[in-house]
Structure 1
Amino acid sequence: MERQEERVEKAGNKSYEYCFFDLDGTLTDSSSGITNAVRYALDKYGIREPDRRKLYRFIGPPLTESFREFYGFSEERCLEAVRYYREYYRDRGIYENCVYDGMEEVLKVLKQAGRHLVVATSKPEVFARQIISYFHLDPYFEYVAGMELDGGRGTKAEVIEYALEACKVPDRTKVLMIGDREHDVLGAKKAGIDCLGVLYGFGTEEELLTAGASGITATVEGILEYCL
């Protein structure tokens, strides 16, 4: 991704005790694995998509929602396409992935500052835990929350609520969601928590601001400035 100039916008002088991180496009650049898996699924229906960047819109939202919105799949075909997607993803795509430069240092500083770090992702929880462990990020996180393989916790708001309950968060005003897509912002708003939008992932500034992000940062390092 093209690097943007450092910029952090923050309203007020709020202190956060809990930092909920999205996974794809926030902690890791998962574009290769996800788009390869989407191509694999679409190929089953004779659909060819040579422009990989057009498939970046699959990164972040629930897969069934994306297959329905972008290719007009029926509910039944969406579920079938997700199964094809996972055929590729669970063995290969999951590892076609990398942690963003500087992210581990950000997590380390937040942890040392006493913040409670949690993953809240629309990816199935079993895959999210596998990725966090594979990249040795598990020491930084107190909990990894995601969707269920059978479609349960099917929205970002439901994942966030699940994470809040699992972590027994006493005060939602002390929680910050950090993510790169409008689904992170809208899910956070529904759960009654703030959201910091990041521009180094796969969303746009317009998308994040229109959704109502509490703040915007163009870089990984900007997360620290906003949180601390």
Structure 2
Amino acid sequence: MSYKVILFDLDGTLTDPFEGITRSIQYALERLGAEVPEAAELRWCIGPPLWDSFKVLLNTDDRKRQDEAVAFYRERYTATGLFENTLIAGINRLIDELKADDRRLFVATSKPHAYAGKIVEHFGLMPCFEKVYGSELDGTRSAKAELISHILSEEGLSASDCAMIGDRKHDLVGANANAVDGFGVLWGYGSREELANERPVAIADTPAALGAALGL
């Protein structure tokens, strides 16, 4: 099927943000006097909303405590972590090919749009995307189901015309909640099993394979 509109997750799908995110989480935990895991143990934190990650890391349901952690995280992330990031090999070619095929492209990320736009711009991808959608700084629309619903409404899109691309179950859960076809990618931070459990249309192991699945 050839989808008219493609929604792309950012972290783990367009870019690999491992260094910036894990170092900023470690910084926040250190500032709070909490246990600081090794970076490799924080891979699972790439994808979910920050509040969800800190809820687990701090073992607390206290929103005020979570907010404090997020504030410390952003203290480092906005100054340094934002660009401790690399572009996924082959993704720029895929984006160019989709754009040339007259697909409408959007970014749909749990990351605040204020940060996400800077990252997309930094890697030279902005001309290919109509708009970068993300959460608000207070966490509003950090859940993918809410974010995708917002995009469909704002852009006047039909769910049947859209595909959502992501590397974690959250992307596919959000797509399913809005009757949007989901596609999983294996170069990010979710396992094949995690993605397959959400019944995506396809799971791709390379950007080229994703392009084929999207009808290029």
User: What is the TM-score when the length of structure 1 is the normalising length?
Assistant: 0.91
1:148 alignment partner in structure 2: 136
**Distance across 2 between alignment mates of 1:108 and 1:64:** 34
SS of residue matched to 1:164: helix
For residue 56 of structure 2, what is the amino acid of its counterpart? Answer: E
Task: Report deviation, 1:135.
Answer: 1.2
Partner of residue 68 from structure 2, selected from 80, 89, 98: 80
Unaligned runs of 5+ in 2: none
Range with greater deviation from structure 2 (151-160 or 202-211) = 151-160
Residue among 168, 182, 185 paired with 1:198: 185
Q: Give the structure 2 partner of residue 98 of structure 1.
A: 86
Measured in 2, the distance between the counterparts of 1:202 and 1:128 equals 18
CA–CA separation in structure 1 for the residues paired with 2:155 and 2:128: 15
Q: How much has 1:137 moved relative to structure 2?
A: 0.6
Say which SS state the counterpart of residue 117 (structure 1) adopts. strand
Q: 2:98 aligns with which of 110, 125, 142?
A: 110
Look up the SS of the partner of 2:111 in the other structure: strand
How far is the alpha carbon of 1:48 from its aligned partner?
A: 4.0
Greater shift after overlay, 37-46 or 83-92?
A: 37-46
Query: The residue matched to 1:65 in structure 2 has which SS?
Result: helix
Other structure's SS at 1:211 match: coil
Does the CA-based 8 Å contact 2:134-2:142 persist in structure 1? no
2:105 maps to a residue whose letter is L
**Code of the aligned partner of 2:174:** G
For the pair 1:38 / 2:25, whether they are aligned, the reply is: yes
Rate the CA distance shift 1:50–1:68 in 2: closer, same or farther, 3 A: closer
Q: Which amino acid aligns with 1:49?
A: V
CA deviation profile, 1:15-71 (whole Å, cap 9, x unmatched): 211110000000000010000100000101223435212111111110001111343
2:195 aligned with 1:208: yes
State the Cα distance separating 1:174 from its structure 2 match. 1.4
Residue by residue over 1:130-167, the C-alpha shift from the partner in whole angstroms, topping out at 9 and shown as x without a partner, is 11111111000011100000221131111111221222
Contact 1:176 1:195 in 2 (8 A): yes
Of the three residues 191, 205, 213, the one matched with 1:226 is: 213
Contact 1:145 1:162 in 2 (8 A): no
Secondary structure of 2:207's aligned partner? coil
- What is the identity, as a one-letter code, of the residue corresponding to 1:146? G
* Runs of 4+, deviation exceeding 6 Å: none
Equivalenced residues, count: 214
Given the alignment, which residue of 145, 155, 159 partners 1:157? Answer: 145
In structure 2, what residue type is equivalent to 1:43?
A: E
Unaligned runs of 5+ in 1: 1-13
Q: Which amino acid aligns with 2:176?
A: K
Instruction: Please tell me the root mean square deviation across aligned C-alpha atoms, in Å.
Output: 1.1
Q: Larger relative contact order (C-alpha < 8 A, sep ≥ 6)?
A: 1
Q: Distance in 1 between matches of 2:53 and 2:92?
A: 30
Quote the sequence identity (%).
41
Alpha-carbon displacement from aligned partner over 1:152-192 (angstroms, at most 9, x marks no partner): 113111111122122221x2111000000000000111111
